Amino acid sequence: MRCQRCDKPATFHITELAGGSHVELHLCEDHAREYLTEASQGPATAASAAAALAQHMFQAMAVSQTAEELERLDQKTCPVCGISFYQFRTQGRFGCAHDYTAFRKELEPLLANIHGEIEHKGKRPTHSAKLSEKRTQLIRLRREMQEAIETENYERAGQLRDEIRRIESAT
């Protein structure tokens, strides 16, 4: 077999795969070298995490949401950290652990879209998930205590402080 670009014998047989079709090339050493050192296109670069997430989100939500529903959904906020669904959707980052519970309904299709699964099968910490959720409530309690102090509602602040201490000492 001869080189496809000159008369020398073809010693390189290259199969290019692109977009589902493949092209076979038979080249001599010189032309193969030329061909192979042409600027390679580089790896399919991984889009930034946030952009990829936005795409997942779009796919997961495009299924059923109308514009109105989406608008209503965007205003939903987490009672613990105060982040809105809109903030999560645009930043791609949650505000606290409770967001997973607060946005559960919207989140599950998204998780299924990203991971193909929605249930953890791996390692578990030695403490319980319940203890973890209780600790997360500290974020809300500390915030409320701060607000109570700012509005000079010291009785309420005292109650909150006691509740915070109770949770902090429980293990």
Partner 1 sequence: MTLDDLTKRRSEWLRGEGPECDIVISTRIRLARNLAEFPFISRASQPDRERIEETVRHAISQSSQFQNVLYLNLEELGGLDRQLLVERQLISREHAEGEGRRAVAIHPEERFSLMINEEDHLRIQVMKSGFDLTAAWELVDQIDAEIEKHVVYAFHEKWGHLTACPTNVGTGMRVSLMLHLPALVMTRQIEKVFRSLQKLSLAVRGLYGEGSQAMGDFYQISNQITLGLSEQELLRKLGDIIPVIVGYEREARNVLIRDSQENLHDRVSRAYGILRTAQTITSEETMHLLSSVRMGVNLGLIEDLEIPTLNDLFLQTQPAHLQKISGTEMDIQDRNIERARYLRRQLSKDRS
Q: Give the residues lining the site for partner 1 (CB under 8 A).
A: 11-12, 14, 16-18, 29, 32-33, 35-36, 40-49, 52-53, 81-83, 91-97, 100-101, 107, 110-111, 114-127, 129, 131-133, 135-136, 138-139, 168, 171
Nearer to partner 1, 119 or 155 (CB): 119
Q: Which helix (H) or strand (E) holds 55?
A: helix 49-62
The radius of gyration of the chain from alpha carbons, rounded to an integer in Å, stands at 28
Q: Which residues contact 114 (CB under 8 A, 6 or more apart)?
A: 53, 56
User: In whole angstroms, how close is the CB of 36 to partner 1 at the nearest point?
Assistant: 6
For 154, the 3-state DSSP assignment is helix
**Whether 95 contacts 87, CB under 8 Å:** yes
Q: How far is the CB of 115 from partner 1 (least distance, A)?
A: 4
Min CB(66)–partner 1 separation in Å: 23
